[in-house]
């Protein structure tokens, strides 16, 4: 808990999607295959997810594949069977019409369990490490670290250029509104 609720106005309204898009690319240069974006949390691409040497050298204990499935990044738990890695797959497509929101809480729980475990580190990846994986990490920061969407975007963007598609940004914005309303009900803001 960051204690940010005291600094937020009672009638908080997140920015619209175009303004959120402008907040995303604040880091100069390009991102690599993988970047640490939060303590014990890495966002990467499919090459990183398939690089067992890298996974071992960075002591990755958990993998959240935000592009799971036959027509995406087809690794699955069986790919890591010779490693001590816990796997969680989300069959998501990087399309603005795809509803990612049903996966927000299960992904956030998986990430939280990963980083709470002794020595735990999690790689959250999709094909390029820009949209689907970033969306799930942003949701985690909002749900488990009590951040607003803007705060979460700023936290990640300091370390990696990410670009959730407009549909995902809209879904994250709705989550932000819902979480803020829940916070408001818990405090004296009415």
Which are the catalytic amino acids? 126
Closest CA to 64 of 56, 53, 80: 80
Using only C-alpha atoms, the chain has a radius of gyration, in whole angstroms, of 16
Exposure pattern of 8-38 as b/e (b: 16+ CB <10 Å)? eeeebebbebeebbeebeeeeeebeebbebb
Q: Which two tokens stand for residue 165?
A: 């598609």
Q: CA-to-CA distance for 62 and 60, rounded, in angstroms?
A: 6
- Please give the structure tokens belonging to residue 8: 């937020």
């Amino acid at each position: 808990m960051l204690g940010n609720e005291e600094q937020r106005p009672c009638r908080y309204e997140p920015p619209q999607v175009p303004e959120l898009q402008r907040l995303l690319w604040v880091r100069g240069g390009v991102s690599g295959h993988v970047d640490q974006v939060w303590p014990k949390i890495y966002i990467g691409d499919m090459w990183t997810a398939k690089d067992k040497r890298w996974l071992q050298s960075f002591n990755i204990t958990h993998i959240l594949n935000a592009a799971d499935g036959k027509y995406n990044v087809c690794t699955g738990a069986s790919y890591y069977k010779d490693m001590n890695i816990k796997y969680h797959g989300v069959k998501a497509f990087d399309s603005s019409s795809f509803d990612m929101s049903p996966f927000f809480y299960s992904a956030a729980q998986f990430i939280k369990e990963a980083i709470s475990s002794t020595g735990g580190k999690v790689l959250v990846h999709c094909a390029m490490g820009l949209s689907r994986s970033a969306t799930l990490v942003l949701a985690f920061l909002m749900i488990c670290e009590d951040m607003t969407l803007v705060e979460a975007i700023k936290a990640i963007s300091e370390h990696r250029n990410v670009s959730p598609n407009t549909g995902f940004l809209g879904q994250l914005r709705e989550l932000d509104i819902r979480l803020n309303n829940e916070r408001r009900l818990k405090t004296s803001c009415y």
